[in-house]
Amino acid sequence: MSSWTDKRPMSPHMQVWKWHLTMASSILHRMTGVGNYIGIFIVAAWLFATAAGPDYYEPLAGVVGTIWGQLILFGFTLSICYHLINGVRHLFMDAGLALNPKFASFLSGLVLVFAVVLAVAVWLLSGLVPGVDPLHMTGAAQ
């Protein structure tokens, strides 16, 4: 947090910029966009391996199954969830809505929380978390 307390509006400058939520949300939107760009390689690889046969699928599943693979996959899930929900916020802003500074900050925070909740929910429901399978759909295999 910046120690800047002057209430007067400031001109945007890289070094003297009061940290606020809408700014972080804008940066995160771009970062997660680039993250999704990298992540879709996994989706394409998964589809390609499925078409190419078990000889390709099993090694890929092995790599994704490691702790690092799982971390990257969860990061990708989080990245998608954030970019998706914040993207909706951006569409509203493009339409000229939700631009009031207070409300925009509140919405930025809400998007952040909701993105994490959604990503965790996707993992819990899909049985990707070992030992957790609320929908009982993964069978005994996990």
Partner 1 sequence: MSKPQQTMRTPLGKVRGLGSAKHGAGHFITQRVSAIGLIVLVPWFLISLIGAVRGGYDGALAWVADPINAVLTLLAVGTALYHMRLGMQVVVEDYITKHSTKNVLLILNTFICVVLFAAAAYAVLKIAIS
Assess 141 for contact with partner 1 (CB under 8 A): yes
How far CA 137 is from CA of 118, 125, 128, 140, in Å, comes to 19, 9, 11, 9
If one counts every other C-beta atom within 10 angstroms of the C-beta of residue 89, the result is 19
DSSP secondary structure letter of residue 6: -
- List the one residue from 21, 24, 84, 93 that touches partner 1 (CB under 8 A): 84
- List the one residue from 21, 23, 36, 69 that touches partner 1 (CB under 8 A): 36
Closest CA to 112 of 77, 69, 83: 83
Assess 91 for contact with partner 1 (CB under 8 A): yes
- List the one residue from 2, 3, 11, 51 that touches partner 1 (CB under 8 A): 51
Go through the chain and tell me how many residues it has. Answer: 142
- List the one residue from 33, 69, 75, 109 that touches partner 1 (CB under 8 A): 33
Handedness of CA 27, 32, 35, 37 (dihedral sign): negative
Binding site for partner 1 (CB under 8 A): 30, 33-34, 36-37, 40-41, 43-44, 46-48, 50-52, 54, 57-58, 61, 77, 80-81, 84, 87-88, 90-91, 94, 122, 125-128, 137-139, 141-142
